[in-house]
């Protein structure tokens, strides 16, 4: 019998709540969706599914939120996704936003990264918050949704695929039970039990070297900016990273000396000597601090080749394990959840055929491979794997003191939204080539400030959206007819008019006034009638110079790939 640890985890700043484990009932109803793992990706997915009235059950082998601050940095894109899940406001209230990254070498700042931030950005490029708080906020929202059941202390121990779904065997403190479900989503992290039960393995690279993460409570009068110290005197050849977190917590992250075992590195005396040496180097000699959490990880860049296996779907770290350099772990996982949620919901509601889910795998495996390529570059710079890489890295560090041109070689690039340029969902015969500005097919749409505390993406919901830039008093009648035809089949299609002069465009579900033409310019809408077809996950599927139903209909059909059959 599974006996989860029910002692609250220790922390100097966070009070863990222990939840009662779920105990099996006499009869278990068949589920639509079972999500394994109550982490950030699993709970975000559940919340996004709930917007389509798709209920889900989340299983977690533990009885409390995860230990330690873990994925502390969330990108703007993640915040846009978390806004749709309903938790961005709470994160922004206590998180620490930032946009600068500094690289130090021999006591000098040799490179300062500045992430773009303008008035069209509702969220900062990055925001720091310990993962426990993120999980707590997600959990509150999950409980409020009324459509998600979290089963704590439930450990997945067996899986069998059926033609129409999955049977999961689950162990609890009261013994085992079986749960049937149409779909099972593995969001159970880097050591995914679903992945091992299915015998799937990850492909990619593992990098030499292990890294210590330590969170300490200390009062440092430094701004919220990422700090990287290359080749520090106390730890030659290595790199030390520092991040500020809320509640006076700092993350310190460094590589273990070659050949040292993790247990050794995490011994308090060893850890203390190293942290003290680092604090001394940055001018805080003898400053007292308290350890909150520490851990060892290794840098790996791995992915499954396919994220959909029968009725089992993988997301987040269960699907791919990415190096933390460039904040690519959780931030990639949120994008998985956003891509998956609408496709799974459309499939379950019968609004689309199965190939929509195949596009999830294609798009996100493609994204993971691109990230692996980029993350590999960052990792090779942080921890050069060979003499050649070491030589060139040292050459860049040495040049950086006097030569700005090497700055970009520091590989400060961080997680960014993937452009699904080759997605099967993109229209093939739209007017993409006519646009000089604006998001290309497959790209996420940019946010635009419309007014005081009012942004374009604030108005987004779970629908497929048609953004029509128009000065006419009404949308074309054949477009509203097309919308009615889709809605009759249940498919949510929302018509958003963006107008320079009108407060209300007839036929639109919502008219957004754009008196200064800021939105028009950003989307390259040079003529009246410019139209974007945008997927529920805010990625462009097609764009045209004019708004006509006979061109929109086939693109919609491609998007949900079943409309043609039933039309």
Partner 1 sequence: MNVADLERIYDLLADTIDAVPEDKVRLFLAKFALLAAHALDDARQVTALIENARTDL
Binding site for partner 1 (CB under 8 A): 391-392, 394-396, 398-399, 403, 405-406
Report in angstroms how near the CB of residue 389 gets to partner 1 at its nearest: 11
Task: Give the separation between CA 366 and CA 419, rounded to whole angstroms.
Answer: 10
With respect to partner 1, which residue has the nearer C-beta, 115 or 399?
Answer: 399
DSSP-assigned beta bridge partners for residue 168: 159, 179
Task: Give the separation between CA 230 and CA 328, rounded to whole angstroms.
Answer: 21
Task: Give the separation between CA 488 and CA 482, rounded to whole angstroms.
Answer: 10
Please count the other Cβ atoms lying within 10 Å of the Cβ belonging to residue 404: 10
With respect to partner 1, which residue has the nearer C-beta, 282 or 399?
Answer: 399
With respect to partner 1, which residue has the nearer C-beta, 406 or 549?
Answer: 406
Report in angstroms how near the CB of residue 381 gets to partner 1 at its nearest: 14
Report in angstroms how near the CB of residue 503 gets to partner 1 at its nearest: 53
With respect to partner 1, which residue has the nearer C-beta, 268 or 405?
Answer: 405
Report in angstroms how near the CB of residue 181 gets to partner 1 at its nearest: 53
Pairing relationship of beta strands 493-499 and 464-469 according to DSSP bridges? parallel
CA dist 513 to 366, 451, 469, 504, Å?
37, 9, 10, 8
With respect to partner 1, which residue has the nearer C-beta, 110 or 241?
Answer: 110
Report in angstroms how near the CB of residue 406 gets to partner 1 at its nearest: 7
Distance between start and end Cα atoms, the chain: 52
Report in angstroms how near the CB of residue 358 gets to partner 1 at its nearest: 38
Contact at 8 Å (CB) between 301 and 322?
Answer: yes
Determine whether 176 is exposed, middle or buried from the number of CB atoms within 10 Å of its CB (0-12, 13-18, 19+): middle
Contact at 8 Å (CB) between 301 and 383?
Answer: no
Contact at 8 Å (CB) between 225 and 251?
Answer: no
With respect to partner 1, which residue has the nearer C-beta, 282 or 406?
Answer: 406
Task: Give the separation between CA 290 and CA 293, rounded to whole angstroms.
Answer: 10
With respect to partner 1, which residue has the nearer C-beta, 157 or 392?
Answer: 392
Helix axes 40-50, 76-85, angle to 10 degrees: 50
With respect to partner 1, which residue has the nearer C-beta, 107 or 408?
Answer: 408
Report in angstroms how near the CB of residue 395 gets to partner 1 at its nearest: 4
Report in angstroms how near the CB of residue 409 gets to partner 1 at its nearest: 9
Task: Give the separation between CA 96 and CA 114, rounded to whole angstroms.
Answer: 16
Task: Give the separation between CA 362 and CA 357, rounded to whole angstroms.
Answer: 9
Report in angstroms how near the CB of residue 366 gets to partner 1 at its nearest: 26
Report in angstroms how near the CB of residue 108 gets to partner 1 at its nearest: 16
> Which alpha helices (DSSP H) does 52-87 contain, by range?
76-85
> Which alpha helices (DSSP H) does 54-192 contain, by range?
76-85, 88-94, 131-145
With respect to partner 1, which residue has the nearer C-beta, 355 or 398?
Answer: 398
Contact at 8 Å (CB) between 214 and 294?
Answer: yes
The residue written with tokens 């045209």 in the block is 544
Of the candidates 341, 342, 319, 343, which has an alpha carbon nearest to the alpha carbon of residue 330?
319
What length does the chain have? 567
With respect to partner 1, which residue has the nearer C-beta, 291 or 392?
Answer: 392
């Amino acid at each position: 019998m599974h006996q989860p640890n029910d002692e609250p985890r220790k922390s100097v700043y966070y009070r863990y709540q222990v939840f009662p484990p779920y105990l099996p009932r006499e009869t278990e109803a068949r589920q639509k969706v079972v999500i394994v793992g109550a982490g950030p990706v699993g709970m975000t997915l559940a919340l996004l599914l709930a917007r389509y009235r798709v209920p889900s059950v989340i299983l977690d082998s533990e009885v409390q939120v995860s230990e330690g601050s873990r994925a502390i940095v969330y990108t703007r894109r993640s915040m846009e996704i978390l806004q749709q899940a309903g938790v961005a406001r709470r994160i922004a209230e206590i998180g620490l936003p930032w946009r600068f990254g500094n690289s130090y070498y021999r006591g000098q700042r040799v490179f300062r990264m500045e992430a773009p931030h303008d008035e069209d950005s509702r969220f900062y490029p990055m925001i720091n918050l310990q993962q426990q708080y993120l999980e707590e906020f997600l959990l509150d929202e999950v409980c409020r949704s009324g459509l998600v059941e979290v089963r704590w202390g439930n450990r997945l121990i067996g899986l069998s695929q059926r033609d129409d779904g999955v049977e999961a065997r689950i162990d609890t403190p009261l013994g085992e039970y079986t749960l049937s479900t149409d779909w099972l989503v593995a969001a159970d992290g880097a050591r995914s039990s679903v992945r091992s039960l299915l015998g799937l393995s990850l492909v990619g690279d593992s990098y030499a070297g292990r890294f210590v993460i330590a969170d300490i409570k200390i009062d440092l009068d430094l701004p919220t900016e990422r700090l990287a110290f290359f080749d520090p005197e106390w730890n030659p050849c290595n790199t030390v990273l520092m991040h500020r977190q809320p509640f006076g917590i700092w993350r310190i992250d460094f590589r273990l000396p070659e050949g040292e075992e993790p247990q050794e590195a995490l011994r308090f005396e060893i850890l203390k000597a190293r942290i003290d040496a680092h604090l001394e180097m940055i001018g805080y000699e003898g400053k007292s601090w308290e350890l909150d959490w520490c851990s060892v990880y290794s840098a790996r860049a791995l992915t499954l080749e396919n994220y959909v296996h029968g009725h089992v779907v993988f997301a987040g770290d269960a699907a791919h394990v990415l190096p933390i350099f460039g904040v690519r772990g959780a931030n990639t996982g949120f994008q998985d959840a956003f891509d998956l949620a609408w496709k799974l919901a459309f499939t379950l509601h019968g609004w689309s055929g199965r190939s929509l889910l195949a596009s999830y795998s294609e798009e996100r495996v493609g994204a993971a491979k691109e990230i692996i390529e980029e993350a590999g570059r960052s990792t090779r710079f942080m921890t050069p794997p060979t003499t050649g890489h070491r030589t060139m890295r040292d050459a860049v560090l040495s040049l950086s003191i006097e030569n700005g041109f090497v700055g970009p070689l520091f590989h400060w690039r961080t997680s960014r939204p993937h452009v699904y340029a080759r997605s099967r969902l993109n229209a093939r015969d739209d007017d993409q080539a006519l646009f000089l500005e604006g998001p290309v097919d497959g790209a996420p749409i940019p946010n635009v400030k419309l007014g005081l505390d009012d942004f374009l993406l604030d108005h987004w919901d779970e629908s497929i959206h048609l953004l029509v830039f128009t000065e006419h008093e009404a949308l074309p009648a054949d477009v509203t007819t097309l919308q009615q035809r889709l809605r009759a089949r249940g498919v949510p299609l929302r018509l958003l008019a963006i107008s320079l002069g009108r407060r209300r465009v007839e036929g639109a579900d919502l008219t957004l006034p754009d008196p200064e033409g800021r939105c028009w310019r950003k989307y390259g809408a040079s003529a009246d009638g410019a139209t974007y077809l945008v997927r529920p996950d805010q990625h462009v599927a097609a764009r045209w110079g004019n708004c006509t139903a006979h061109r929109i209909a086939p693109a919609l059909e491609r998007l949900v790939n079943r409309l043609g059959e039933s039309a």
